[in-house]
Structure 1
Amino acid sequence: MNLRYRARVLPEWRDPARVAEGLLAEERFGFWLDAGAGATSGPTYLGIASTVATAHRPTNSVLVHAGDAVAQTLTPDASLPDLHAVLESVLEGAAVTAADVPGFGGGWIGFLGYEYGAELVGAPAADSRPAALPDAGWMLADRLLAFDHAARTVTLIEREDLAEDPRWASPVERSVGNPLLAGLGEEPAAELPAAELPTAESSTAHWRHSAAEYRTLVERCRTLIAAGEAYQVCLTNEVTVTGEFDSLALYLRLRALSPTDRGGYLRFGDSALVSSSPETFLSVDDARVVTTRPVKGTRRRDADPERDALLAAEVVADEKERAENLMIVDLMRNDLGRVSELGSVTVSELHVVETYAQVHQLVSTVRSVLRPEVEVGDLLRVAFPAGSMTGAPKHRAMLHLAALERGPRGAYAGAFGYRDARGPLELSMIIRSILVEPGAARVGAGGGITILSDPEREYAESLLKARALLRVLGVAEPA
């Protein structure tokens, strides 16, 4: 069966945050790719799914779900030699025709986890956790709302084989019962003072590596670099907060406290990804131009405007931060060069400072044109996981990270977004994110280590990156 999508513009504007609770709260498979609170440009996509494909490394299998039931179990064979080949055969084998609309018109929404990427690189990886998000997962959209924030329009996109649902054709805006929305204006999260976010100082968190251990690991990375084992190693830590969490409520809090134009909420059954990522991993447009924007180099924000401006200038002038960013730019140029037209790989921006709610970041932009025979799966095989979360050279850095980090990253350091049935791709890095599972929430944080790294500064940077996420979870920042 050829699955086709239809689209129609709804008569009135709706705020994504106000309709999300009514449309997503009870759904086991849902997504919200978010242009952010108070957005005046860009798209937001909010929808649900019933057909889902998930990859699982412990069983070396891909499961195709129809609703809550597993309809098919696939494993590698002679023609499909690994999990990536099997998963791509499911995604590319689906006969899907997107709606004729700008941006995402139908197809798959999902994520790839870090350990899934380790297998693509041929590097060792820690075992996946039980009762967590799969190693990779993609959901085929049943219906979604596409919000154009510049035009202030909402388009309903849905499968033609599904009966119309009045909840989606005329979504109801809600604020009653949600303390984050009650009494606020049209763009609730943008107007919500951070001080009003709920906190619970008594909540506790367990860090995989203590402060002293993390500093020691930074020194071990520097020793490896001095020995010629790598140029950069992207060391991460993980904090686990026990408890039961409402993942959609967490996302509403996160978008209020740490706004970004690339936010995301993906729910796969009992687990979910909640993200305020600012980083573009891969974007492929209709002309097959691929863009990646590695983020390396961080400074905190400051309430004093003059001090804040000095911090922004400091990050771009810092020799260590510039070197760290440049190494990943070179790595991504090499990755894209393997699948791109000869001579098409360019660096259109180098060492640009971008400012977000919590931090200033150093960002560069690499672009190329994919060769005609290259499919999305081929691009992912050579470029994932992103060099900004591994280090350089990629394989050697990941080899050492497996020994240093002593545990899985899970979805953290992977990528999430959409694959339009017409070919375009939009993936963000899974950083500044919370991984929600039964009984726990997990946050990853870290940074790129070079020979110039200072262990105390690197540890402070990891805390800075985790601060907003822990606050959303009601956890006090470590001393």
Structure 2
Amino acid sequence: MRLGLLRHRLAPATDAATAPELAERIVVALVATHPDADLVWLDSGVGARTGRSFLSVDGARVPLDAAAPVLPQLRAALSAMPALRPVADSADPAPPLGLVGWFGYELRDETMGMPAPATPPAHRASWLAVDRGLVLDHESGSLELVALDAAGSGWSGELDGWRQRMLALVEGARRASPPPPADPAPRTARWRDDDARYAALVRRCQEAIREGEAYQLCLTSAATVDAPGDAIALYRRVRRSSPAHHGALLRIGGATLVSASPETFLRVEPEPGGGLRVRTRPIKGTRPRGADLDADAALVAELEASDKERAENLMIVDLMRNDLSRVSELGTVVVTGLLEVESYAQVHQLVSTVEGRLRGALDAIDAVAACFPAGSMTGAPKRRAIELLAVWEGAPRGVYSGAFGYLAVDGSADLAMVIRSILVADGVATIGAGGGVTALSDPEAEVAEMRLKARSLLTALGVRDEADARPDLPAEPQ
């Protein structure tokens, strides 16, 4: 149990295999009854054997003054929410009650004191204060309603009314059988860079590396597509084709983030004896999945043996060790996993894990301030990489390359990288994609990797011919 937390356990899903499907049914029902509400669905994806879904349509938008720093405003909003405190010897995981939302890449002007191009306020940061919701455990199939007990009066009054409505909605969702998401109408992708220009930019990155300006650079591009009318159906297609441990469907105001992210930016967890442990899991190194088991195994072996991919990953591990050391107790920053292969529906990835113990009274927001933007999306050294890439890419990245997730009232946090993601806003769906460039990179292979990372998302949007590129910048980098 946790002091200040109300929990109402429901009958579980029929079995663990049906839990992710039930989450979809509940979301469809929530949207039907709250068509204009902001929506939170933090999701570990179809077929996930562990993890959970957290669902809510009851968040309140955090008003952010665009002329003021974002992080202090979020700290104030989080402090204004009811406290949630663990009881001694409690091992139960806290639900993600607190703030849920995203940071855009251009928030780097605040965290690094560097100039950044202007972006719409929703692309810079959008957050909801969420004090109630439904947790569905993908491993056990268990469901429970959770809420912060602000008044200390338990399930009574307005909270009890919400509970009764949710119980009825979940029971209705159990009996419902929504059809599979319809296939999307055909659409065309408009790429910022065609293959020739992106390859030329890779060579420009390599020239800067040879000149000693950087060790590694994460070059990105973007594609835009006419937005689909139904973002819920879009996410249902994405989670079927690209299940991931940090899937999400977040609708805040006029912007919707659809994600199948495989990368943890920061995870902060309270330790049993007090204090907070922070962990990051940067990804650098990619291979496609093979056509059969033998080809798949060969690609894994190739990834593990690649000098280029290993060097790329190690450079970012060193960068993240440095960032975490700025907020961690002396001697606590350690590498607990190095160059491990994780496999997803479309790709194999090389992943490492770095963690430390936060110093004194520092918290998850301090960790964001020290580490954002993540080194896996900039390169090394971080400051010079950002400066070079801003010139060559020629456009803001927006929400792509930022982070999304939750900052909970108990001090925990789970923030994922905004990669393998789609932002739907103002009638346009935008996908960012890129990869790390080193001196050993092959420009044509970098083009192929960038396209591979976007392919399943474009397919979910209805794009059939990825080769249709309309570059909006000059053919050669300056």
Q: TM-score range by the shorter chain?
A: 0.7 to 0.9
- Equivalent residue, structure 2, for 1:180: 180
Alignment CA distance shift 1:232-1:270 (3 Å): same
Deviation of the 1:43 alpha carbon: 2.0
Structure 2 residue 159 is the aligned partner of structure 1 residue 162: yes
Alignment CA distance shift 1:20-1:428 (3 Å): same
Alignment CA distance shift 1:39-1:31 (3 Å): same
SS in 1 for 2:159: coil
Deviates further, 397-406 or 134-143 = 134-143
- Equivalent residue, structure 2, for 1:427: 415
CA contact (8 A) 2:206 2:439 kept: yes
Deviation of the 1:106 alpha carbon: 1.9
Deviation of the 1:146 alpha carbon: 0.7
Alignment CA distance shift 1:27-1:96 (3 Å): farther
- Equivalent residue, structure 2, for 1:346: 334
Deviation of the 1:12 alpha carbon: 3.5
Which runs of structure 2 are paired with 1:298-337 in the superposition (5 Å)? 298-337=286-325
Equivalenced residue count is: 437
- Equivalent residue, structure 2, for 1:356: 344
- Equivalent residue, structure 2, for 1:198: 183
- Equivalent residue, structure 1, for 2:29: 22
Query: TM-score, normalised on structure 2?
Result: 0.86
CA contact (8 A) 2:25 2:177 kept: no
Amino acid at match of 2:78: L
Amino acid at match of 2:180: L
RMSD: 2.1
- Equivalent residue, structure 2, for 1:39: 48
Deviation of the 1:477 alpha carbon: 4.0
- Equivalent residue, structure 1, for 2:70: 83
SS in 2 for 1:276: strand
CA contact (8 A) 1:129 1:408 kept: no
Structure 2 residue 439 is the aligned partner of structure 1 residue 451: yes
CA contact (8 A) 2:84 2:148 kept: no
SS in 1 for 2:117: coil
CA contact (8 A) 2:342 2:350 kept: yes
Structure 1 stretches (4+) deviating beyond 4 angstroms? 98-101, 174-178
Deviation of the 1:282 alpha carbon: 0.6
Query: TM-score, normalised on structure 1?
Result: 0.86
- Equivalent residue, structure 1, for 2:270: 286
- Equivalent residue, structure 2, for 1:124: 115
Deviation of the 1:96 alpha carbon: 3.8
CA contact (8 A) 2:82 2:148 kept: no
SS in 1 for 2:50: coil
* Matching residue within 140, 148, 153 for 2:137: 148
Q: Give distance in 2, aligned partners of 1:407 and 1:129.
A: 13
Alignment CA distance shift 1:120-1:54 (3 Å): farther
Q: Give distance in 2, aligned partners of 1:469 and 1:312.
A: 23
* Matching residue within 233, 245, 265 for 1:261: 245
Q: Give distance in 2, aligned partners of 1:19 and 1:258.
A: 20
Amino acid at match of 1:31: V
Amino acid at match of 2:113: G
Q: Give distance in 2, aligned partners of 1:4 and 1:438.
A: 39
Q: Give distance in 2, aligned partners of 1:102 and 1:370.
A: 20
SS in 2 for 1:173: helix
CA contact (8 A) 2:278 2:357 kept: yes
Deviation of the 1:47 alpha carbon: 1.0
Deviation of the 1:40 alpha carbon: 2.6
Q: Give distance in 1, aligned partners of 2:147 and 2:210.
A: 55
Which runs of structure 2 are paired with 1:402-413 in the superposition (5 Å)? 402-413=390-401
Identical amino acids, percent of aligned pairs:
46
SS in 2 for 1:379: helix
- Equivalent residue, structure 1, for 2:153: none
Note the alpha carbon deviations across 1:81-109, whole angstroms, 9 max, x for none: x3333333333344443797523252111
Q: Give distance in 2, aligned partners of 1:304 and 1:54.
A: 51
Deviation of the 1:411 alpha carbon: 0.8
Amino acid at match of 2:166: W
Q: Could you tell me which runs of 5 or more consecutive residues in structure 1 were left unpaired when the two chains were aligned.
A: 56-60, 63-74, 77-81, 182-196
CA contact (8 A) 1:23 1:167 kept: no
CA contact (8 A) 2:48 2:244 kept: no
Amino acid at match of 2:295: R
- Equivalent residue, structure 2, for 1:226: 210
- Equivalent residue, structure 1, for 2:194: 210
In terms of fraction of residues, the more helix-rich structure is 2
Alignment CA distance shift 1:142-1:86 (3 Å): closer
Amino acid at match of 1:120: T
Alignment CA distance shift 1:54-1:115 (3 Å): farther
Structure 2 residue 118 is the aligned partner of structure 1 residue 109: no
- Equivalent residue, structure 1, for 2:152: none
